[in-house]
Amino acid sequence: MAKKGKIKISKVKRNNHTTNKMRKQGTLKLQRHRSKLQKQKQPSQAPEVEYSSESESGSGEEWADMLDEDEQQYIMKRLASQPQLLSNVPEKEQVQRSKKRKREDKGKVPKNQQHNSDSGAETDEDSDSEIEEKYEKELAERPSKRMRPLLPIKTKHGLQERAEECEDTESEKEEEEIEMETSKDEEEPQDSESDSGMEGTAEENEAGDGEEISTVQLLAARRDKLQHDKLRIGALCSSLLESPEKKLKNFFPILYLMEERLKDNTLNLHSVRKLATLSAYEVFKDILPDYQIRHQDYSNIKLKKDTLALYKYEKELLEFYKRYLQRLEKAATVLRRKKGDTRKLDESTLSLALVSLRCMCGVLEARPQFNYATNIAQSVVPYLDCPEEQAREIVTECCRNVFNEDKKGEITLAIVRLINQLVKRRGERLHPSALDCLLSLKIRDIDMDAEADIQHKKKQEAKHKKRIVNLSKKEKKRAKKLKEVERELLETEAQENELARRKQLTEVTKTVFHIYFRLLKHAPRSKLLAAALNGLARFTHVINMEYYSDLVAILSRLVGDELVGPRERLLCVRTVLGVLAGAGDALNVDPAKFHAHLYASAAAQHAGASQGEARIILEAVTQVCARARRVSPAVLQAFAKRLTTMAVQLQHHGALASLALVHQLAQQSKAVSILLDPDTESGSGRFAPLLESPEHCNAHDARLHELCTLRGHYHPVVRQHAAALLQGTSVPELNKLSPVQIYDEYDGSQMAFKPAIPPPKRGDKPKAKHNNHGHTWAQSDLKTLCENVENNVEMVIKKNR
């Protein structure tokens, strides 16, 4: 039977078929037109040698001759185990090599098989060409897969290399999108720079495989790369700030430089990542609007050209801002360790994480009303419990600034609710400094009762006017329309709504006191008790009267608990005295227990470890002075005597604050002013300084002799204030400040002495030292008095003899 095959056609027709097919596929490259043009332009020169498979094969043979047999075997073994190494070879070269091999195989056919007919040969060639075309189509349609090398395994035949297919991750796909976008932007010269930089790194890697690189060379390469990236980031940011609408795509390379790994799978420098992070932060802080961008669908609406351009710009800006925040959150995540993770972070990684956290907090401070503000707060607030102290300080300062600058109260309420969730989740394990930011809330600056009274008076006056003036129907309609117009004008002027603001403030207040009362109930002996008591003492005027009696009962129980620390018990006393000073008439509470604990604790204060507790005692005694008319004179005299005793033992700022309080008590009570006069005699008995009860220590028999000692103090203002108190006057500079303000103003912990000590003059000579080593008198009056007494005694003895 005859073999079935294709119809025999001529060689010219077959060439035309292949040419047309290659022209449709776009793989046809005609060389004849180029050669004709070259001949026309350069008739005298010899024609150029075109690229062919034969020339390549010659170069390949020369390359093979240069290698040893062992090297050739190693290369063939690697190619057999990992065929993906040939993926970089062009398809055209592979096809030409395959055709050449087939021609060589045809040449090696035995002679007894050469008598086949021409038709059979042609049909075999047609079938081979169809198979090749089909294989090329399958390769073109097959998706490119990446191979990831695995560790080799040991078999009987030796080590066997392994590899597996891996899919593209989201970060790699995002990098490919970035590369596509940067390649489309032909106006920017930075693309060529980035390509050259990548080629340089690849050459360095290749050189590193063959040669050893010294440390000096590595440092020089790092310096050059850092300088190149600095210039590139600066150029991108400057052009972006000049015209954000046109150069918004400059964020692509900036965000790319924030990545941990680059395109060639090399680690990015931490310095470059920090520079890109800070530069993007400054740019966003300048170009982000103060309003919130709303997502709306304008696909079915015809817009003006300018409106459409603005909509596209805002959409792209929001997308870049989202990517930037995601990178910041990823870089700062290393600070949030899991339970049991005790690994120490590298200095560079820690520095980059702190920079990213600082940028997130800075964006939240600069644009608290912009999009993703709540998301930033959710990412930032958990760092209040971070083991790194710098991270806690950054977030605490951010929350304080947001609380002070927020006018609407929305972001403040969101942050306070997140802190409440953190307290619920962590409980006693929460760091005590996590609640310090709540002390900066504006609850203290607002008196709700006074504002409610004002609003009530306005309503009563409006009703009274309506009763006096009888308006007609037309006038009422006109007045109603005027009110609507005024309301619309207020909305256009962007004035905040008082009702909405009051509602936000009420929710903030409820949440804050919910946090404090939760800690008093569930963690009364933890380190968080001090933070809760500080907050309660600061916001006592906002607490509802119904909770005062319960709060005083809880704090009274904590004062008597010996397991509670001494500082926490002092805070309890200060909080109770603050509550009594604000609403003492409405509460029937005997403060004798709290006065006794405060009086006993003040005796243990000195300039050493307990110096920090002196401020709490001064604040508590200030609350006692606020209700001096309701306190017995004996208690006021006991506190005045104890304050002068503290002034001798404390540093200069504590001594000044104590003397200011004594002066305040002397002005409010005549019983205290009597203690300043050493000649008067009042009462009977003896002063008992070690007795804990201030009412029964007989302070009326004491005198403030410590003021004489303070006249020789090392601080000039203390000397001046002590002398003024003995004379019944005061220092004018200190009258304008409260005792707590004086304590903070003259604090020398920051290595600042107030007033400043003048430097010595050049012409001054050092004082001569005393040669006599005998006793010297501090006061000449006392010396004369002693001499007179001695002379009188001697005279009496002589007379008796």
- Whether 411 and 445 share a structural domain: no
Average pLDDT of the segment spanning 81-88: 56
For tokens 């020398």, name the residue.
748
What is the band of 643 on the pLDDT scale with cuts at 50, 70, 90? Answer: very high
- Whether 275 and 316 share a structural domain: yes
- Whether 406 and 319 share a structural domain: yes
- Whether 333 and 361 share a structural domain: yes
**pLDDT of amino acid 17:** 83
What is the band of 10 on the pLDDT scale with cuts at 50, 70, 90? Answer: confident
Give how far the C-alpha of residue 712 lies from the chain's centroid of Cα atoms, to the nearest Å: 49
Query: Which domain does 522 fall in, by range?
Result: 441-467+505-589
- Whether 635 and 573 share a structural domain: no
Percent of the chain whose predicted confidence (pLDDT) is above 70: 71
Q: Could you give the CA distance from residue 239 to residue 121 in angstroms, rounded to a whole number?
A: 67
Q: How many domains does the chain fold into?
A: 4
What is the band of 136 on the pLDDT scale with cuts at 50, 70, 90? Answer: low
- Whether 308 and 414 share a structural domain: yes
- Whether 307 and 341 share a structural domain: yes
Average pLDDT of the segment spanning 201-221: 66
- Burial environment of residue 514 by CB neighbours within 10 A (0 to 12, 13 to 18, 19 or more): middle
What is the band of 399 on the pLDDT scale with cuts at 50, 70, 90? Answer: very high
- Whether 299 and 446 share a structural domain: no
- Burial environment of residue 394 by CB neighbours within 10 A (0 to 12, 13 to 18, 19 or more): buried
Average pLDDT of the segment spanning 69-77: 70
**105-117 pLDDT tens trace:** 555 444 444 444 4
pLDDT at 757 over 50: yes
Q: Is residue 527 part of a domain?
A: yes
**pLDDT of amino acid 140:** 63
Q: Is residue 767 part of a domain?
A: no
Q: Is residue 654 part of a domain?
A: yes
Last residue of a domain, one of 523, 555, 589: 589
- Whether 151 and 282 share a structural domain: no
Last residue of a domain, one of 573, 589, 605: 589
Q: Could you give the CA distance from residue 611 to residue 646 in angstroms, rounded to a whole number?
A: 10
Q: Is residue 435 part of a domain?
A: no
Question: What are the distances in angstroms from CA 67 to CA 19, 62, 93, 207, 209?
Answer: 39, 9, 22, 20, 18
Are 334 and 269 in contact by the 8 Å Cβ rule? The answer is no
Higher pLDDT, 707 or 611: 707
Q: Is residue 704 part of a domain?
A: yes
- Whether 446 and 420 share a structural domain: no
Give how far the C-alpha of residue 44 lies from the chain's centroid of Cα atoms, to the nearest Å: 74
Q: Is residue 497 part of a domain?
A: no
Q: Is residue 634 part of a domain?
A: yes
Q: Is residue 447 part of a domain?
A: yes
**pLDDT of amino acid 756:** 81
φ/ψ of residue 387, rounded to 5: -65, -20
Q: Could you give the CA distance from residue 656 to residue 638 in angstroms, rounded to a whole number?
A: 19
Average pLDDT of the segment spanning 460-470: 64
pTM (predicted TM-score): 0.64
pLDDT at 538 over 90: no
- Whether 538 and 614 share a structural domain: no
Q: What is the 3-state secondary structure (H, E, C) of 531-578?
A: HHHHHHHHCHHHCCHHHHHHHHHHHHHHHCCCCCCHHHHHHHHHHHHH
Question: What are the distances in angstroms from CA 382 to CA 337, 356, 419, 503?
Answer: 11, 15, 8, 26
What is the band of 479 on the pLDDT scale with cuts at 50, 70, 90? Answer: confident
Percent of the chain whose predicted confidence (pLDDT) is above 90: 23
What is the band of 354 on the pLDDT scale with cuts at 50, 70, 90? Answer: very high
- Whether 295 and 366 share a structural domain: yes
Nearest to 576 by CA among 599, 550, 615, 614: 550
**674-728 pLDDT tens trace:** 888 876 666 667 888 888 889 888 888 888 889 999 999 999 999 999 999 988 8
Average pLDDT, the chain: 77
**45-68 pLDDT tens trace:** 444 434 333 434 444 455 555 566
Last residue of a domain, one of 558, 589, 620: 589
